Amino acid sequence: MYIENISLKNYRNYTELNLTFENKVNVILGENAQGKTNVMESIFVLAMAKSHRTSNDKELIRWDEEYAKIEGRVRREIPQYHLS
């Protein structure tokens, strides 16, 4: 199983974000404070219903917004991790 897609709304620094992942190794690149860890955190929250960085859920909601939403789509397919 692998995560095919993740959609964020008002999550941390993202107003809207739609990310599609490959059935392989995925690399997230970005400058400091661009939101790389926020993306990883959102996947953790979706899986565990809590953050690995804070116990205060309000921190996950984009400043001045009422709510945050995380949606994910997983596929049954087995990931292909082989690097060639």
* Residues contributing to the site for ligand ATP (CB under 6 A): 12-13, 30, 32-38, 59, 61-63
Which segments of the chain are extended strands (E)?
Answer: 2-11, 14-20, 69-75
**Local structure of residue 62 (DSSP, 8 states):** P
Cβ–Cβ < 8 Å for 43, 60: no
> Under the criterion CB under 5 A, does residue 51 sit at the interface with Mg ion?
no
Least distance from ligand ATP to the Cβ atom of residue 41, Å: 7
Least distance from ligand ATP to the Cβ atom of residue 54, Å: 9
H or E stretch at 52: none
By a kind-dependent CB cut-off of 5 to 8 A, residue 42 interacts, out of ligand ATP, Mg ion, none, with none
> Under the criterion CB under 5 A, does residue 23 sit at the interface with Mg ion?
no
> Under the criterion CB under 5 A, does residue 37 sit at the interface with Mg ion?
yes
Alpha helices by DSSP H, listed for 22-80, are 36-48
The residue number whose beta carbon is nearest to Mg ion equals: 37
